[in-house]
Structure 1
Amino acid sequence: MIVTAGAPEPLGLRLGEGGANIAVFSETAERIDLCLFDAAGAREIARLTLPGRTGPVFHGFVPGLQAGALYGLRAYGPYAPERGLYFNPRKLLLDPFALELDAPARLHPSFFPDSSEDSAAFAPKAKACDPQPAPARRNGIPWRDTIIYEAHVRGFTKLLQDVPEKLRGTFAGLAHPAAIAHLQKLGVTALELLPCAAGLDERHLHELGLSNYWGYNPVAPLAPDPRLAPGGWAEVREAVAALHAAGLEVLIDVVFNHTAEGDGHGPLISLRGLDNPAYYRLYRQNPAAYINDAGCGNILRADHPAVIRLTMDALRAWAIYGGVDGFRFDLMTTLGRRADGFDPHAPLFAALAQDPALRGLKLIAEPWDLGPGGYQIGAFPANWGEWNDRYRDAARKFWRGDSGMIGDLATRLAGSADLFAGKKPPSRSINFVTAHDGFTLADLVSYAHKHNEANGEANRDGTDANYSWNNGVEGETADATILAARRRDQRALLATLIFSRGTPMLSMGAEFGQSQRGNNNAYAQDNEISWLDWAGGDPRLLAFAMRALALRRAIPAFTDEHFLTGAARDDGPADVEWWGVDGPLRAPEQWQGARHFLGAVFTVGDSRAALLLNAGSAPVARALPHRAGKRWRLALDSQTEDGAPIPTSRIVVAARSAAVFVEDVARPPRKTGAKRARS
């Protein structure tokens, strides 16, 4: 085979008329070879040195190369880890801009720097392809109407019997009518999927016989993971189109803060072997050491043009080829870091803001990392959503029974003005009680402590700050009273989340009692611990969640985009009135101490609704502000299994329950009898 000079754009291998162009970025390499393999990926059939070089880009054109060709890269230069250089032509490297892989990436001892073995026989190969763009995206769902459901592609359908077995655990399974019907019935509007790009297992998991189930360990950000999308981009595109047709948006969790190559002892599989100092943030005084603000061994150098280009091309691939509606960025603070710390005007933010394919999408930040100054909630661009962990902690502590929580909880119910007012609307606060990382909702009220023994780390992994409780027994029990109490607490937590200002996010299975047996860090559990247990789901809890979400959609007072002030609007009632067990909360001392009841009356125009939360052990009878010609109607009551209100003329909130009252027009009194005719 021959190779000509080709062109420096676009990066990666891209098919064109008469063959394929390959362009590879490296500021420090001396030479780059393109290696072609047979159809099985077992035998290297050609090694072509890229003859062209434009600045830091090596490039070439291979006539006759067609779709389906398997390839990898070899990079030449000094092997000097003390200078941050890891060139080793015995290691076959994955094109970081690859659009498809031939098979799932599997860790092998030959990948590591201390191995002299050639890794080509075991390394994942990129596959030449030319994916078709997705259909034009429909108009997005407004933020104020958005309800997010966080799910895992594999775990969502792996045990769903109505989906054909060969489709379970894939994008095709996600697009099956049985999977979509559940999401529609529940009433969510956006599916937020855990990472879907090709990833690799960590070394210690390989030794334990486990695998990285969540996918937060990427190797090829532009390529769908073959385990989730064996049909490649076509499968992703068709699944997203099916979800769109059902009225659902699709968001993808993306990981650009670190890669699967880890620290200096990790595998040589892609970026490290191509240009380690350009792609990774190293210590200036010791280039052999990686800055580790993500806690995964390395972080990407997100202010370097090469990393910005890789990130932007990957996002565009998911938007253009997959047709997705937005992204959730894992540990996004890392992507705003410069050498001297976080910068809210970092280059990547500017690039996203001007890109026509991306700037109109929903963008959500996980606004922290482990580095210095890593907690940056409220510091991201105005159009971005941000995960709100303060909401999570306040809701958990209140329902656990902690003292002094009603002030913090009121701030969270009202949209977290302390974090976002003057910066972005309340809907950009992504409120959640549980997420993939941590206890499930059922486990939150069933376990006081984590139980991660199955992860093989002697229960040392995972957070201890769970703010959880077990209702009297740790873990599984047959006690009907305790089980009823746990269901009651789950309903109260769901009601709190759903009727707060901001965008609610439910984690997969929260709607019907999914348990992970107390594991609060199930990233390595690609099994029944993490897969959604459809057969064991609680239909009563599902009915409650459906009722609550339908009520939220019907009441503008719960979704208004203004921060609350407590001031009257247009000579009407105040936009919010706070109530305690003894009446209106007006004096500072009324917000202090062991108070476990909080009521909020929200008013928007003629829409008025009250959310009453009672975490105490006794029922609370409470009057609500009255308007002439109006009456309060109980619309949802978490003391009942499905939330259906028990007819009542009194405003009473049962112990450890939540209630929603809606203001209606008062009906005229009924006549007690017919008027007698005169004799």
Structure 2
Amino acid sequence: MGDLGPDLCRTLRKACRVTPQTVSPPARLQGHAVAPGRPWPMGASLTGDGVNFAVFSAHAERIELCLFTPDGRKEMARLPITERDGDIWHIQVGGLTVGTVYGFRAHGPYAPEQGHRFNPNKLLLDPYARALEGRLKWSDALMGYKIGSPRGDLSFDTRDSAFAVPKAVVTDPSFTWGNDQAPRTPRSDTLIYEAHVKSLTALHPGVEKGLRGTYLGLCSDPVIEHLLKLGVTAIELLPVHAFIDDRFLVAKGLRNHWGYNTLCFFAPEARYMSQGALWEFQTMVRRFHAAGIEVILDVVYNHTAEGDEWGPTLCYRGLDNASYYRLAGGGRHYVNDTGTGNTLNITHPMVLRMVMDSLRYWVEAAHVDGFRFDLATALGRESHGFDPNGGFFDAIRQDPVLSRVKLIAEPWDIGPGGYQLGAYPHPFHEWNDRFRDGVRRFWKGDAGMTRDLAARLLGSAERFDHSGRAATSSINYVTSHDGFTLEDLVSYTIKRNFANGEDNRDGHHENHSDNLGVEGPTTDPKVLAARALRKRNLLATLMLSQGVPMLLAGDEIGHSQGGNNNAYAQDNETTWLDWSKADSALLAFVQRLSALRKSLTVLRQRRFLHARPRPSDGIPDVIWRRANGTVPHNEDWHDPAFRCLCVELRMAAEGGDPNPEAVFAVFNTGSATTLHLPDTAPGWTLILDTTRPDLPEAGLPAQGFAEAPAHSVLLFRSVTDTPRETAP
């Protein structure tokens, strides 16, 4: 905050003692003009001679702007905001500059049964705050009601909460971007790496100690070099919007590590900063772009950190509870489609505007390349239910800024009709849990999963092939932050979440995992070899499937969370990647898979494959086979003994691509078997065998017959550009 000077401070303090209902604010304050300002842009914006403030509330009776000392500890002034355009309240204060610390107080009815929870004793954060001063200090004073009162949340608390809440800070987002260019990697060429800013770097020996766990550490040379060797084209970051640690976690000595507890949708989380400035985040994006890597943010617009009616009054609840949230029970209670206590009311035009403004801010001011929407069904739920043509989707698809970035939906929530996999409109990608579970079950050896695997290998067309959607609509993954890591997937059959303090009740109960003979860590060489092979098979299946693959950070080096499949509260060695124990052989194998996928266009197609003859050579673009070379019949697909699935792939017939390149992939979850290679090409070269990870880069020639080892993935490439004229 700029130096207000003693005269201005005295004047502001005097203004604080004035009753706003009867006395208008002075036109000028010792040379610092107070003017009506304007209703745009929302939040605090520099005007050249001061700062304009604009905040939304449809039901407040009056709102005050509160100015604080630069450290946020002392409230210096309360200025009544009397100008109102529709439901936007606004004021301009001359002489204020970058660094000004402020908040709001909103007066209005405290009538929870009607959905209103105004309490001017509670300092409120600006929903458009670009930076925060201070961290939340849990206190009963944060509650709008009196804790312990027999009237519960219908009671009214008169304690001032200013000492306990973060304050908004006026910022200048300008940054020297130089020749920064968004990589704009085609969807078909994308390889996503899901990572946590701190977990990835906290123990990295190549990252400077002072930068570990920060945005600047994340974009350091050693991390970027690692990603480039993996072939990563986009890093997807767990939430970096400012969030808070839940009170029940703090009481247990834990923290909200994942960050799905957003307080402010415009401010970067300060715990990942070394100097508390936006330029650190912007520098990270610029460095990733220079390396050809896109930055995708995991965003949480489905709920806020204020919880249900028993939660704190920090921002939205105090400004206009009835507008910001979806309410139930006549208004007293909250719709909880998210499992977190509340659900944002995206159908309200001003709440939708806030979400759109936030998304554009991160694209325009921070140059991010896309978003992954947490519990996205909640964003598309209208009064009649989930609607792929609802307001949220329409707003994004028509937006000239947002329609050109990558958009990824987590296609479910816990509300009615919450599971919507495949129902999202173009150009959304979707996290495909059917891929995750189907591939896990196939390699675990569950009966009858071969038919399901075939669908996953071709981009889950039964879900996504409609309305002009592309084969890249599916985000394929075997593991994500939510659940077992790859190492734990092959090491545990039972989750071990006791460290979370919930008696192991939290987290997924059905993980489709397998310990391969021993539960947890072991030194048994046979078990370790079996686990290593299972990991290679899972990863190979991921990389050979149509769609967009996503790797979980740490899977490539064998990171374990000790069986914790819900490590959201573990900001410690449980989630921090231990680079000193990296599995170099597994890392080399993942690098090889990535390079292989990149070299074969047939594995990265935009169009779905439908087993239709190609105009160029008459051969179908996909041919399913059994190990003996025959095409499976309907009864074969339902045969539980059908455990060796083979598929021959070419460029899609609909695309008209004459490229004769062909691959023949084998997925054998059964015993070793003789393999009949297709005669649709004069010869084949074996270029991948998961039982032989050290196979020569050039591959091995194969003619007519080969062997598919037990529990293996094989990939052959046609050795000639001139396939035979007729299909079998």
TM-score, normalising length: structure 1: 0.95
CA RMSD of aligned residues (A): 1.6
Contact 1:157 1:532 (C-alpha < 8 Å) held by counterparts: yes
Question: 1:179 corresponds to which letter in structure 2?
Answer: V
- 1:380 is aligned to 424
CA distance, structure 1, for counterparts of residue 59 and residue 189 of structure 2? 49
- 1:412 is aligned to 456
Distance 1:188 1:157, change over 3 A: same
SS of structure 2 residue aligned to 1:220 = coil
SS of structure 2 residue aligned to 1:216 = coil
Distance 1:314 1:643, change over 3 A: farther
Q: Deviations along 1:447-497, whole A, 9 cap, x unmatched? A: 111110010000000111211111011111121211111111000000000
Gap runs ≥5 in structure 2: 1-11, 13-28, 147-156, 652-658, 723-728
- 2:669 is aligned to 615
2:706 matched to 1:651?
yes
Q: CA deviation at 1:647?
A: 4.3
Q: CA deviation at 1:398?
A: 0.1
Q: CA deviation at 1:107?
A: 3.5
Contact 2:661 2:721 (C-alpha < 8 Å) held by counterparts: no
2:221 matched to 1:177?
yes
Contact 1:107 1:200 (C-alpha < 8 Å) held by counterparts: no
Distance 1:367 1:178, change over 3 A: same
Match of 2:643 among 592, 596, 601: 596
CA distance, structure 1, for counterparts of residue 573 and residue 376 of structure 2? 30
Question: 1:146 corresponds to which letter in structure 2?
Answer: T
SS of structure 1 residue aligned to 2:330 = coil
- 2:677 is aligned to 624
- 1:216 is aligned to 260
- 1:676 is aligned to none
CA distance, structure 2, for counterparts of residue 234 and residue 303 of structure 1? 33
Q: Deviations along 1:647-667, whole A, 9 cap, x unmatched? A: 464522221121111111399
2:622 matched to 1:576?
yes
Question: 1:128 corresponds to which letter in structure 2?
Answer: V
CA distance, structure 2, for counterparts of residue 70 and residue 282 of structure 1? 32
2:421 matched to 1:390?
no
SS of structure 1 residue aligned to 2:129 = coil
2:106 matched to 1:75?
yes
Question: 1:80 corresponds to which letter in structure 2?
Answer: A
Question: 1:301 corresponds to which letter in structure 2?
Answer: N
Match of 2:412 among 336, 360, 368: 368
SS of structure 2 residue aligned to 1:91 = coil
Count of residue pairs the alignment pairs up: 664
- 1:325 is aligned to 369
- 1:202 is aligned to 246
SS of structure 2 residue aligned to 1:206 = helix
Distance 1:666 1:372, change over 3 A: closer
CA distance, structure 2, for counterparts of residue 304 and residue 167 of structure 1? 41
2:326 matched to 1:272?
no
Q: Structure 2 matches for 1:112-511, cutoff 5 A?
A: 112-115=143-146, 116=157, 117-132=159-174, 134=177, 137-229=181-273, 230-283=275-328, 285-423=329-467, 424-511=469-556
- 1:677 is aligned to none
SS of structure 2 residue aligned to 1:62 = strand
Q: CA deviation at 1:416?
A: 0.9
- 1:665 is aligned to 720
- 1:4 is aligned to 35
2:138 matched to 1:103?
no
2:61 matched to 1:30?
yes
Q: Deviations along 1:211-251, whole A, 9 cap, x unmatched? A: 11111110100000001234432111111010010011111
Q: Deviations along 1:244-276, whole A, 9 cap, x unmatched? A: 100111110110000110100011101001000
Distance 1:39 1:666, change over 3 A: closer
CA distance, structure 2, for counterparts of residue 204 and residue 343 of structure 1? 35
Contact 2:183 2:292 (C-alpha < 8 Å) held by counterparts: no
Q: Deviations along 1:353-410, whole A, 9 cap, x unmatched? A: 1222211001111111111111112221211111111111110000000011111110
Q: Deviations along 1:545-591, whole A, 9 cap, x unmatched? A: 00011000111111122211112212332111112234333311111
Distance 1:104 1:539, change over 3 A: farther
Distance 1:203 1:545, change over 3 A: same
Q: Deviations along 1:68-90, whole A, 9 cap, x unmatched? A: 11111111112121111111111
Q: CA deviation at 1:197?
A: 0.3
Gap runs ≥5 in structure 1: 668-679
CA distance, structure 1, for counterparts of residue 582 and residue 113 of structure 2? 54
Question: 1:375 corresponds to which letter in structure 2?
Answer: Y
Contact 2:660 2:721 (C-alpha < 8 Å) held by counterparts: no
SS of structure 1 residue aligned to 2:568 = helix
Contact 1:104 1:226 (C-alpha < 8 Å) held by counterparts: no
The farther-off stretch of 474-483 and 111-120 is 111-120
Question: 1:509 corresponds to which letter in structure 2?
Answer: G
CA distance, structure 2, for counterparts of residue 641 and residue 606 of structure 1? 27
Contact 2:440 2:512 (C-alpha < 8 Å) held by counterparts: yes
Q: CA deviation at 1:342?
A: 0.9
Contact 2:182 2:367 (C-alpha < 8 Å) held by counterparts: no
CA distance, structure 1, for counterparts of residue 683 and residue 357 of structure 2? 56
SS of structure 2 residue aligned to 1:524 = coil
SS of structure 2 residue aligned to 1:219 = coil
Contact 1:191 1:249 (C-alpha < 8 Å) held by counterparts: yes
- 1:673 is aligned to none
Contact 2:612 2:621 (C-alpha < 8 Å) held by counterparts: yes
TM-score, normalising length: structure 2: 0.89
SS of structure 2 residue aligned to 1:121 = helix
CA distance, structure 2, for counterparts of residue 58 and residue 125 of structure 1? 19
Match of 1:41 among 45, 49, 72: 72
Distance 1:28 1:185, change over 3 A: same
CA distance, structure 2, for counterparts of residue 477 and residue 148 of structure 1? 31
CA distance, structure 1, for counterparts of residue 134 and residue 442 of structure 2? 47
Contact 2:299 2:374 (C-alpha < 8 Å) held by counterparts: yes
Question: 1:585 corresponds to which letter in structure 2?
Answer: V
2:660 matched to 1:606?
yes
Question: 2:635 corresponds to which letter in structure 1?
Answer: E
Distance 1:643 1:453, change over 3 A: farther
- 2:20 is aligned to none
Q: CA deviation at 1:339?
A: 2.0
Contact 2:72 2:134 (C-alpha < 8 Å) held by counterparts: no
Distance 1:205 1:643, change over 3 A: farther
2:687 matched to 1:635?
yes
Question: 1:622 corresponds to which letter in structure 2?
Answer: L
CA distance, structure 2, for counterparts of residue 203 and residue 287 of structure 1? 24
Q: CA deviation at 1:643?
A: 5.8
Distance 1:212 1:514, change over 3 A: same
Question: 2:674 corresponds to which letter in structure 1?
Answer: A
The farther-off stretch of 394-403 and 315-324 is 315-324
SS of structure 1 residue aligned to 2:52 = strand
Q: CA deviation at 1:151?
A: 0.4
The farther-off stretch of 38-47 and 115-124 is 115-124
The farther-off stretch of 576-585 and 233-242 is 576-585
CA distance, structure 1, for counterparts of residue 719 and residue 259 of structure 2? 48
Q: CA deviation at 1:528?
A: 0.7
CA distance, structure 1, for counterparts of residue 138 and residue 356 of structure 2? 27
- 2:152 is aligned to none
CA distance, structure 2, for counterparts of residue 346 and residue 627 of structure 1? 48
Sequence identity (%):
48
